[in-house]
């Protein structure tokens, strides 16, 4: 029997069952993956001794609390891949810019609220806890810090609460930096008790998020939300519905961090994309129609760049110069990636050289022009920055609105809006 012949696909109740599961979980990922879905469903049908799809759907519908058959089904359907300090550039921006900025803004109320939405087994939330602890230092006990991890998968949450991780989950944390985050534990590592005490894990389905928080809503007034590698499983209408809901859960000037492949037009109405070295961050727009409260004054990243410190978690290895075994054609993307690493390592001149090399090899390389513009602007070369941003904009002429920009994390429309904003600031 080939996979395409899965008997469940011939069950007359399959289409309805599939529709219901995708509507409840948002996992549109399975829309065109019937064989994969059927295989997972088959395991649950067998475990429940359900005769067919209609019988299994009846079981699900009878589970009003969501803790009966929905739980193991969600366990079959969700993917919990996660690791500490995933996307180091985003964590660097958090540590150097977003957290210092937020702590300064909230100094009067001494409260900090962070949400890891779709936290899986918790590495992301614990990474945040480590950063907050380092950022507040001795002031930590005087602050009300909320770090919330939520997920649709209760088994992941139970694992997250235990705080036990394998070596693999720590692959991006240099051995010398691990002691601040973990200690040896069962199966490898255990998160340090002081960090475990900072994080709360609760069950939540993002599809159930209401458009606006209710009074005293536990999911409200966040300074920073991380919702990364979750929305890749959702479809465009779900994303379009979720983007303003996430914005509504942020304070004015709050930040949203999403995965590399998750940007795009749904975020533009409610968030302003902001460029940090190697990462795009989203700041809640001030002109959202549903403004709830106005606190503090947000700052653009380039204004806070003076507070940047070298990365404590991970040193960027500079590869030893060794001649390649055979000459390869020069790759503009490789130069671009080098430039990002060099910018992280605060080697601006070498980064500029690498970016110019990338542009020399590919004049239409929008992201390289963008990074060059940002680098020159930070150095105070406003004329150079203006030229580079204009070049980046020119490169986008060929792209459709929703088309992803090569080597970027965002769509052409998003990059265009980012560039127009940068040019406006430079000309002001």
Ligand X SMILES: C[S@@+](CC[C@H](N)C(=O)[O-])C[C@H]1O[C@@H](n2cnc3c(N)ncnc32)[C@H](O)[C@@H]1O
Residues in a beta bridge with 203: 151
Which range touches ligand X (CB under 6 A), out of 62-70, 190-198, 200-208, 361-369? Answer: 200-208
Q: Which two tokens stand for residue 356?
A: 């110019």
Task: Write down how long the chain is.
Answer: 428
80 binds ligand X (CB under 6 A): yes
Please tell me whether residue 190 adopts helix, strand or coil conformation.
strand
Residues 367-406 vs ligand X: string with x where CB under 6 A?
----------------------------------------
Which range touches ligand X (CB under 6 A), out of 76-84, 136-144, 176-184, 377-385? Answer: 76-84
DSSP letters for 110-149: TEEEEEEES-TTSHHHHHHHHHHHHHHGGGGGGSEEEEEE
Q: Which two tokens stand for residue 426?
A: 């430079």
Contact residue for ligand X among 57, 91, 118, 251 (CB under 6 A): 118
102 binds ligand X (CB under 6 A): no
Pairing of strands 250-258, 279-284: antiparallel
Q: Which two tokens stand for residue 85?
A: 């300090």
Residue with smaller CB distance to ligand X, 26 or 298 = 26
Which range touches ligand X (CB under 6 A), out of 20-28, 336-344, 380-388, 397-405? Answer: 20-28
Contact residue for ligand X among 21, 26, 97, 253 (CB under 6 A): 26
CB of 148 to ligand X, least distance (A): 12
What is the separation of C-alpha 88 from the centre of its chain, rounded to a whole number of angstroms? 11
Round to whole Å and give the CA distance between 315 and 311. Answer: 7
Which range touches ligand X (CB under 6 A), out of 114-122, 165-173, 328-336, 381-389? Answer: 114-122
CB of 125 to ligand X, least distance (A): 9
Residues in a beta bridge with 151: 203
151 binds ligand X (CB under 6 A): yes
* Residue 146: how many other CB atoms lie within 10 Å: 17
Contact residue for ligand X among 89, 90, 97, 229 (CB under 6 A): 229
Please tell me whether residue 406 adopts helix, strand or coil conformation.
coil
Binding stretches for ligand X (CB under 6 A):
25-27, 78-82, 86, 118-120, 124, 151-153, 156, 205-207, 228-230, 233
């Amino acid at each position: 029997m080939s996979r395409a012949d899965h008997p469940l696909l011939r069950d007359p109740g399959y289409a309805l069952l599939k529709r219901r599961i995708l509507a409840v979980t948002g996992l549109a990922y399975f829309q065109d993956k019937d064989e994969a879905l059927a295989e997972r469903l088959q395991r649950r049908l067998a475990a429940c001794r359900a005769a067919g799809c209609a019988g299994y759907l009846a079981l699900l519908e009878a589970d009003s609390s969501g803790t009966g058959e929905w739980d193991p089904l969600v366990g079959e359907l969700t993917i919990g891949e996660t690791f500490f300090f995933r996307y180091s550039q985003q964590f660097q921006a958090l540590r150097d810019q977003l957290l210092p900025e937020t702590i300064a803004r909230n100094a009067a109320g001494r409260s900090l609220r962070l949400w890891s939405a779709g936290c899986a087994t918790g590495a992301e939330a614990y990474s945040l806890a480590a950063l907050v602890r380092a950022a507040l230092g001795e002031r930590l006990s005087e602050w009300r810090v909320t770090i919330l991890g939520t997920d649709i998968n209760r088994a992941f949450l139970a694992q997250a609460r235990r705080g036990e991780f394998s070596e693999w989950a720590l692959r991006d944390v240099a051995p010398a930096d691990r002691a601040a985050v973990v200690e040896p534990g069962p199966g490898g590592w255990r998160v340090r008790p002081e960090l475990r005490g900072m994080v709360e894990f609760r069950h939540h389905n993002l599809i159930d998020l209401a458009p606006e928080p209710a009074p005293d809503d536990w999911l409200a007034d966040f300074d920073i939300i991380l919702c990364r590698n979750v929305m890749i499983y959702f479809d465009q209408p779900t994303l379009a519905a979720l983007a303003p809901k996430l914005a509504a859960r942020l304070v004015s000037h709050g930040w949203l961090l999403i995965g590399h492949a998750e940007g795009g037009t749904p975020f533009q109405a409610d968030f302003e994309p902001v460029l940090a070295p190697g990462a795009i961050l989203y700041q809640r727009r001030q002109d959202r129609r549903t403004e709830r409260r106005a606190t503090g004054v947000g700052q653009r990243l380039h204004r806070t760049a003076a507070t940047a410190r070298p990365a404590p978690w991970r040193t960027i290895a500079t590869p030893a110069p060794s001649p390649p075994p055979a000459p390869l054609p020069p790759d503009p993307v490789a130069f671009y990636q080098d430039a990002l690493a060099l910018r992280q390592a605060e080697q601006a001149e070498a980064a500029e050289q690498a970016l110019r090399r990338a542009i020399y090899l590919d004049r239409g390389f929008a992201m390289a022009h963008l990074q060059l513009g940002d680098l020159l602007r930070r150095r105070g070369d406003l004329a150079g920055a203006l030229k580079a941003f204009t070049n980046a904009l020119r490169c986008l002429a060929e792209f459709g609105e929703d088309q992803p920009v090569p080597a970027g994390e965002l769509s052409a429309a998003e990059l265009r809006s980012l560039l127009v904003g940068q040019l406006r600031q430079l000309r002001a």
